[in-house]
Structure 1
Amino acid sequence: MDKPPIKAKNNKTPRSQNMSHQVEKKVALKLYAKRHKHPGVWFGLGLMGIVGWSVALPTLLGIALGIWLEASISDSRAYTLIFLLAGLTLGCFIAWNWVSKEYAAMHSPTVTMKANTKAPTKAPTKANTVPKTKTSKENE
């Protein structure tokens, strides 16, 4: 005879636990998004500006340093090109780091769930909602 499979005590398989965790995470993100409205177009333009300047400024500083080195040192090396690429690389790293931190902050359920969780309340049951009536012995 084949034995029936043993069920877990909490009647949830690991797959259903994973799915319920994903659903809870998405619900928390949606609730957070409803409470904290998206700033709109200006937020997007500001984000593009910050990312753009974080790339452009190191690149321009690298070009300026390269031009200054070429003017002060008479050498056959192309310092402008070298420092342009170095500034561009540094700017892209700064922008990537900043955007990844913002993405992590927006999609972190631990931050939103900690702020939104409250102590669990006891669900009303028949025992704690129906008032007790006095028996005939208690009335005497």
Structure 2
Amino acid sequence: MNERKLKTATKAKPTLATKVGIKATRKLKARSHSQQRVWFGLGMMGLIGWSVAIPTLVGASIGVYVDGHYPSERSWTLALLVAGLALGCFNAWHWIEKEDLAIDEEHKVTAEKEHNDE
């Protein structure tokens, strides 16, 4: 028998009361944080929207200025609009990745705590 199977076999199975207690704790925690999660989600959508919109508008504004003062064959407005959009998308991706890592870390801590309580 390998070591993992041995550890699993020798562990005492949690009782029904322990399982119910863990589930009740999770449910109470979810209920107490539900309002906070809604506002957090809306705030994150706003943050991501603005993190894309602002660089796009700044790029377009600079492009309009450059096209107005330094006319050329190419449209700086379009080029800088696309550059601003790309920068904004990268910025939004950064924020989402950061929040995803924080959520994963929170789940790991919660799972370890529940595992240690058993």
TM (norm. structure 1) is 0.56
Is the helix fraction higher in 1 or 2? Answer: 2
**1:34 matched residue in structure 2:** 29
Q: Distance in 2 between matches of 1:102 and 1:63?
A: 29
**2:85 matched residue in structure 1:** 88
Which of 5, 8, 30 lines up with 2:2 in the alignment?
8
CA deviation digits over 1:73-126, x for unaligned, max 9?
Answer: 12111000000000000000000110111011011258625x959xx8xxxxxx
SS of residue paired to 2:33:
coil
Quick one: structure 1 residues 68 and 109, their matched pair in 2 at CA, closer, same or farther if it must change by over 3 Å?
Answer: same
Structure 1 residue runs of 5 or longer lacking an equivalent are 1-6, 14-26, 121-140
Q: Distance in 2 between matches of 1:90 and 1:111?
A: 32
TM (norm. structure 2) is 0.66
In our comparison, the structure showing a higher alpha carbon Rg is: 1
Identity %: 40
Stretches of 4+ aligned residues off by more than 3 angstroms? none
SS of residue paired to 1:55:
helix
Quick one: structure 1 residues 109 and 76, their matched pair in 2 at CA, closer, same or farther if it must change by over 3 Å?
Answer: same
**2:70 matched residue in structure 1:** 73
Q: Distance in 2 between matches of 1:94 and 1:60?
A: 14
Q: Distance in 1 between matches of 2:82 and 2:113?
A: 46
Q: C-alpha root-mean-square deviation of aligned residues, in Å?
A: 3.1
